[in-house]
Structure 1
Amino acid sequence: MKTNKILEHFFERGGDWMDRTGKWDGILMGDPEKDVDRCLVTWIPSLKALRYMVDNQIKLMICHEPLFWTNATTIEVTPETELKSDFIKDNDLTVMRLHNAWDGWPEIGTLWAWAKFLGLPSTPTAVSADGKQHRYDIDPVTVEELAKSIAKRCAPIGEPMVQLTGEASPVVSKIGLSTGIVQDLDEFLRMGCDCSVVCSDSMGTWNHTQKAEDRNQPVICVNLGTTQEPGMVSLSKYINDNIAGLAAEHLPHGNMFELIG
């Protein structure tokens, strides 16, 4: 199956959440006419993942993030970028990115897969205007119990502990959820959430954490890589179930850091 036909599969079935300009969704490097029958699905197109492709004779990668650590359309040529691009060219690899394409896919895309992984209801109670923040209503539970439950579920991905901002004792039932950098704590409040589960990309500076604490808004934070992994599993399954002639293998990344103490 030609690589560009695989990309067309998603564009033809996707909605207005898709990016058709090539910045967020498209073929990053390689031959769009390449015939493939296998692909590697992984969150980040790291050198480690690219080497795995070569070792396992896989010619197509479908990833979620950019090749060169930025979403900028113009990339400065450095020894680091050359190392990666030369490796791709020398080994005749093709890299396709599905970011907005899979983030917004209803019911099985990144955010829905993350919610399912955490054991939240299958249908959100409320969705933000941009579709990137959900609210899920659950049986009342203390913030501490919710945080411990999330940590237990995330442990197999490599994150057995989560960060909590705010008091642990309040009872909550309206849970805000999102992934990636587009997570607005004010929007979660407007949606009626009494606790929010966010990722490290949205809580990267002290002011977000302090604002949440000052207004008694409990926030549970996990690493971005942890939130993305269930979506890569669901993408692999989607490909295997819906694209005839293409077999997907999932390469986990998981949590991006290791706790040492």
Structure 2
Amino acid sequence: MLVLSRKQDQKVSFPSLGITVQILRVKGSTVRLGVDAPMEVRIIRDELEDAGPDEKPREHVIRLPQNLRHELRNELNALSISLHLFKQEMDAGYSKDAEATFQKLVTHLERVCTNQVLSREGVSAEKQPESTALLVEDEANEREMLAGFLRLHGYQVATAGDGLEAMEYLENHEKPSVVLIDMRMPRCDGPSTIRRIRENPAYDGVKIFAISGSTPEENHVNPAQDGLNGWFMKPLNPRSLVDAMAVTIGEMEPTAA
């Protein structure tokens, strides 16, 4: 056991774990602590004085409410997409567009306390102009930025705010190469939309990728049985998504693991 002496307002940090403990107040025999830790770290307080000899100490686990976790995932997702979009626009010389994206990036940085967005380097690929994508996402900001990122990679992109808009688009336009769809949306959610697409022979051959802040199990979806070509968790790495789309559509050879 590591034993330290700390005064009020002093901290103890564990950099490799992302955890910081701060002495907030000392009053008599009581010390008030503040613990800053990643969401996935369980914070447990053992109430030893209440536990009998044969009774396990009670656990007090601090968990973020589901709606707050969903909002945070959306913010991180928008931040990740805007970072990738900003880089693409700068590389392409679109300075005015990049400036607007940068302002959005600053806004999301101000909203998010931590911005450790997972990323994975993908291989580059030139997209064929005829590749089309239908992006179905109810969050307008995320939808706009991801659509912009896809267009910079050569895709013709149509957008829809929910499943009903997506089905209306499919009924009145030539079927796209790929559909990218969020799960939790008003009116007609992702799982329902996927089933409607797969049940209609007119849409045979359309690739479908799910983009969600929750798992397939939480959405009662079986990716293989329900005809999904991929499932991407938020926060999204759009570079990885574009690479997977290219491989699935047949524009790029898969890389060796």
TM-score of the two chains, using structure 2 as the length reference = 0.28
Higher radius of gyration, 1 or 2? 2
TM-score of the two chains, using structure 1 as the length reference = 0.28
